[in-house]
Chain A
């Protein structure tokens, strides 16, 4: 197990290198460069040329790439071109908000989606099943921006229950402080963006759970368990669900990665100060150092989470052993 984990963690090095090189090349292929983005329409040709020189953008590509990898290897993420601040500081100031939203929404999706799928599988063919799956269908097909705006108009404007935008106190800090007011403030700000981001995953998980359970419930060992006279609840939770969990955990792992990188729309709608928005803005403004640094951090987080998912398999299914 230790050897396996070490090997998987060492594999993160080529992943980081690959992510760094691919980001670098893709940015080179984008039309328009940081000099133009920063100086804007007011700039003249010679000023842009001077600025490109200052940024080293006029050097041969292999040299630019080499210098960039060397900086990254030393942990030097550079300085943002448009935001006039160190890239690492920008990442560290936005990453907690993104993680908070991602974890909250995945938690919502798991605690909502799996029980709903279970319910639908247990009551297969009944009105409960049909209603749940209709809701799930709605969830996977509803565009995030539309759902977000709808929720704001209903809960913030019409009912005036929840704030329309922004992040409250950081949830972890609020929980540590034990201050009920702060925790409340944090949760009130999290609900709408968290649910918006969770809805698709919640729907997907409920469908997946229902499907996985129905598959498992057809298996011989389930019939044996029932034949032994075990209570339905034990059959369902101890025998069926445990076996159905493997594909579900895989999907949850992948969804967490998506929630990290794909929260951009949600972050934009709710004015959530996360890293997704930072990256998209940086791409639009050709702020290369920010894009490069942020993509690297996201790629590493995503890979790290996949390692964790693989390790959880061993806990869920005793037959899986890593050597």
Chain B
């Protein structure tokens, strides 16, 4: 059954429909938020907050046209709310920060590629990271990413292309450092 149908059932008071949605999306949602925040405990809290909002909206009778982009929109916005808090400002990496730091982390061998990937992605601004994560880990279509992030499909494509290009530059810089 489609996600939207489960939301419709929830809006009609069938509470178990929500359980199915949580079982379906707990893992991917946790993965998405964890990759953005790099903190398991915090990711759990944000997942809970996101799903609670979805549950409350469903109980109020709201049924989104497309569930997945809507869910990721709430999740991304909840992360943004977290970043807007003064205590979490350091987490909010911008493009200027990337240019300024110029930090490179040498790859010692293939096994360290995960670490390299995490650190390289972390050097990208949040706008690039959200688009790349939604595309590569959440398997969203361009149109769904556009809906989730309130941007045009062309912007989605541009951000993916530029984000990958930035990662490539980081890779080249790393190789130079090693060579």
Task: Answer yes or no: do A and B interact.
Answer: no
Interface residues of A (CB under 8 A from B): none
Spell out B's residues near A (CB within 8 Å): none
